[in-house]
Amino acid sequence: MAIKIWSRTGSKASGKKETAASARTEKQTEEKPNKVHRPAVRNILVLGKTGTGKTSLLNYLYGFDLPTGAGLPKTGKGLHENVITRNGIAYHVFDTWGVEADSLPEWRQEVLALVRKRNTSPRINDWFHAIYYCFSANTARIEEAEIEEIIVPLLQSGCKLIVVLTNAEDGFRKQEKMEGMKEYLCTELEKRLHYDPQLEIIPVVNVAGETLAGDIISRFGRTEALEAARYNLADDIKKRLPAIYKMNVMNKLGAWKERSLLLLANGKISFVLNNNSAKQLIDLINYDLLNTFGAIDADGDRLEAEANEYLLAEGGRKPLDKRWRPEFRRITYVKGYEYSKGLSVGLAFDIASGLLRSAKSIRDNLGRRVEKTYAAIIESMQKKKTE
């Protein structure tokens, strides 16, 4: 089970391996001035029962000044989006309040629908960039329903959760309590999941204070929590981007094929100038194919730029690995030109051999060429993938 438990000093129990190559890229990016813009949007979701320190956690991690504690209006219970702009970043904060164990099943629908909608978006801007689940180490209570209704379904839908144990300041049997919570959580998750969940467990003190004996309690856990969020987001980007890109490639090529076949079915073909009409049609189809390849490339670049905004923001040093779209390396503008040339050469050959005698033969012939080109492009993508 890949549950990473953070120590108070912030080192992970299962340390990250650092290769020479990754160290090199880090160094390179450090030397270069950071030209990448910061992302303008951050979506954050905080879950947990009432009084577990969710709002305090947001204030501590992101420097907000949201009202916490007792005396808050208990109307409007549930999930709320709050937009807070700080240092040019719009934080879309989804905080919850007043949630008790008995309202978990109804809360579950709302949370899961929201997370699924956002995290399947092709724009990184829409995703949740951090999801925290709070338990208080004071009460040390973890309800089975919280695991069953919220944590497990979220993990199953591919989310990464950061479990925060709030109120982690020293206290009567505090360490023992926290160990117990971690153990209970791990055992319960192992029972329900049959793969490694992406989960971090981080002890945090959200508010500074004083013990009864007059000792100062300082806050801690911020660096660890933010680092975990950054690590999770980087992993999501790495895993989701190729699929998003592939879907876009398929959609764009499919649309090109449909447009071309429609053009061939309805395009004007002059009986006097059969061969010229055929050339004109294939030129239009070629031009469209080149544009399609250009658009695919541009979309890939835009996706990469958006990913790097997030990866390089707030102290992140590793840009997206340049090989993030390897199986689609053939799908480039240059390759598109080769395919389009293939269409023209094939046509010239058919004209020379006198194959195109009627409008119908032109339509059929060119239609077959479009289908063949489309199949060849898709096949080349799949071949590259299994190589």
Ligand X SMILES: Nc1nc2c(ncn2[C@@H]2O[C@H](COP(=O)(O)OP(=O)(O)OP(=O)(O)O)[C@@H](O)[C@H]2O)c(=O)[nH]1
Binding site for Mg ion (CB under 5 A): 54-55, 97
Candidate segments 5-13, 53-61, 115-123, 226-234, binder of ligand X by CB under 6 A:
53-61
Residue closer to Mg ion by CB (options 73, 315) is 73
What lies within 8 Å, CB to CB, of 292 at 6+ separation is 252, 253, 255, 256, 336
Out of 44, 155, 201, 205, the residue judged to bind ligand X by CB under 6 A: 205
Cβ-count burial of 239 within 10 angstroms (0-12 exposed, 13-18 middle, 19+ buried)? Answer: exposed
Contact between 336 and ligand X by CB under 6 A: the answer reads no
Residue closer to ligand X by CB (options 76, 354) is 76
HSE-CB for 220 with a 13 A CA cutoff: 13
Q: What is the footprint of ligand X within residues 76-115 (CB under 6 A)?
A: 97-98
∠380-291-242 over CA atoms, to 5°? 45
Residue closer to Mg ion by CB (options 66, 234) is 66
Question: In this structure, are residues 82 and 95 in contact, taking their beta carbons and an 8 Å threshold?
Answer: yes
Residue closer to Mg ion by CB (options 67, 315) is 67
What lies within 8 Å, CB to CB, of 163 at 6+ separation is 132, 133, 135, 185, 199, 200, 201, 202
Residue closer to Mg ion by CB (options 20, 70) is 70
Question: In this structure, are residues 201 and 185 in contact, taking their beta carbons and an 8 Å threshold?
Answer: yes
Least distance between ligand X and beta carbon 288 (Å): 54
Query: Using CB distances below 5 to 8 A depending on partner kind, what does residue 221 bind out of Mg ion, ligand X, none?
Result: none
Query: Using CB distances below 5 to 8 A depending on partner kind, what does residue 198 bind out of ligand X, Mg ion, none?
Result: none
Question: In this structure, are residues 92 and 42 in contact, taking their beta carbons and an 8 Å threshold?
Answer: yes
Least distance between ligand X and beta carbon 154 (Å): 18
Residue closer to ligand X by CB (options 105, 171) is 171
Least distance between Mg ion and beta carbon 211 (Å): 24
Residue nearest to ligand X (CB): 53
Residues 315, 312: Cα–Cα separation, whole Å: 6
Residue closer to ligand X by CB (options 3, 205) is 205
Query: Using CB distances below 5 to 8 A depending on partner kind, what does residue 43 bind out of ligand X, Mg ion, none?
Result: none
Binding track, positions 151-180, relative to ligand X; x by CB under 6 A: ---------------xx-x-----------
HSE-CB for 386 with a 13 A CA cutoff: 5
Out of 1, 8, 37, 69, the residue judged to bind ligand X by CB under 6 A: 69
3-state secondary structure 306-347: HHHHHHCCCCCCCCCCHHHCHHHCCCCHHHHHHHHHHHHHHH
Contact between 308 and ligand X by CB under 6 A: the answer reads no
∠57-198-24 over CA atoms, to 5°? 95
How many of the chain's residues bind ligand X (CB under 6 A)? 20
User: In which order are the strands placed within the sheet that holds 130-136?
Assistant: 3-5, 199-203, 161-166, 130-136, 41-48, 89-97, 78-86
Pairing assessment for the beta strands 89-97 and 3-5 based on DSSP bridges: unpaired
What lies within 8 Å, CB to CB, of 333 at 6+ separation is 290, 293, 294, 297
Candidate segments 175-183, 206-214, 232-240, 330-338, binder of ligand X by CB under 6 A:
206-214
Residue closer to ligand X by CB (options 84, 193) is 84
Residue nearest to Mg ion (CB): 55
The residues of the shown chain that bind ligand X, judged by CB under 6 A, are 48, 50-56, 68-69, 97-98, 166-167, 169, 204-207, 209
